[in-house]
Amino acid sequence: MLELLQSIIVYSFVFGSIYLLVSLGFSLICGILRIFHLGYGLSFVMAIYLTWMFMTELKLGVTLSIILMILVQFAVGMLIHWGIFQRYLEEEEKLLTLSLLAYLVFAHFANYRYPITAGVHLPTTIMYGALSIGVTTISYQMFIAAITAIFVTLVFVFIFLKTKLGLIMRAVSQNLRGSMLMGVNVGLTYWYAIILSTIPPIICTLTIAPFWSVDPFMGESMLSIAILIAILGGLGNLKGSIVASYAIGFIHSVVSFVYTSRFMGLVALIVTLIMLLVKPEGLCGAEKLW
């Protein structure tokens, strides 16, 4: 029994941390821009396939490829913001459709250019092997991904609690008109939010690629996780995302060990559904970043 409990705790931490890293960027966009970004999966797919393209076709090293990929992602993020978000902010259907299409276009192009036989992978393993935590064994890479997730989250929390930029973003998320009246450059704030929101997916992809699936349509599963956590935690609420990530991680872990991993996704969805019937605004409330 104690061994079972130990395994559940360890994997709750690991799963929850990874899911947090997956969903951070999505919560940020929801919280500040008030956009349900259906093209969020694009960041994950671009992280893989742009890096791969730079490595194999431009023959750049891993590090340089990653740096270039990040710069391209920033540029694409700004392009999407300028071309879709800004333009169609008041026309939600078009905004949702276009953002989803942006993801699909890239995913299909990546699938055409790099089918499974291309053997796409990212050599971003930081440490090989496995470590034992009591009776539980997890790979070093998985543990590093979990720690990285916590570190990134702490950095974001620091930004939003202690920096001027973070305070401005919170103000914009709480009261847009009030912020404008106070002289906040909302447009610039949105740009910063877009840039910041691409960082967690990039870091997530680089750290989990050594043990996660890598394919052109991986963005869909990532988006699903992000939406589930955002909804459970409270749309756009960073605090809620943290709580919800570990809640989902706990549910997945318990179901996997006590019953079967086959149903961990289903149980998490059912629990979320029940939770929203009881508390529709999510665990920590919606429409406020913190």
Which positions touch other proteins (CB under 8 A)? 3, 7, 11, 15, 111, 115-121, 123, 125, 128-130, 135-142, 210-215, 221, 252-253, 256-257, 260-262, 264-265
At its nearest, how many Å lie between other proteins and the CB of residue 132? 8
Structure tokens that stand for 34 in this block: 């008030």
Q: Of 200 and 234, which has the nearer Cβ to other proteins?
A: 200
Taking the CB of residue 238, how many other CB atoms lie within 10 A of it?
Answer: 26
Q: Of 20 and 80, which has the nearer Cβ to other proteins?
A: 20
Taking the CB of residue 290, how many other CB atoms lie within 10 A of it?
Answer: 19
Contacts of 226 (CB under 8 A, 6+ apart): 22, 23, 25, 26, 27, 40
227: left (phi over 0), alpha (psi -120 to 50) or beta: alpha
At its nearest, how many Å lie between other proteins and the CB of residue 126? 12
Please name which of 84, 80, 215, 229 lies closest in space to residue 153, comparing C-alpha atoms.
229
Q: Of 86 and 111, which has the nearer Cβ to other proteins?
A: 111
Q: Of 5 and 116, which has the nearer Cβ to other proteins?
A: 116
Q: Of 88 and 140, which has the nearer Cβ to other proteins?
A: 140
- Which CA distances in Å does 53 have to 45, 275, 288? 12, 43, 38
At its nearest, how many Å lie between other proteins and the CB of residue 269? 13
At its nearest, how many Å lie between other proteins and the CB of residue 46? 19
At its nearest, how many Å lie between other proteins and the CB of residue 108? 9
Q: Of 3 and 92, which has the nearer Cβ to other proteins?
A: 3
At its nearest, how many Å lie between other proteins and the CB of residue 172? 35
Q: Contact, 228 vs 248, CB < 8 A? A: yes
Please name which of 191, 207, 269 lies closest in space to residue 29, comparing C-alpha atoms.
191
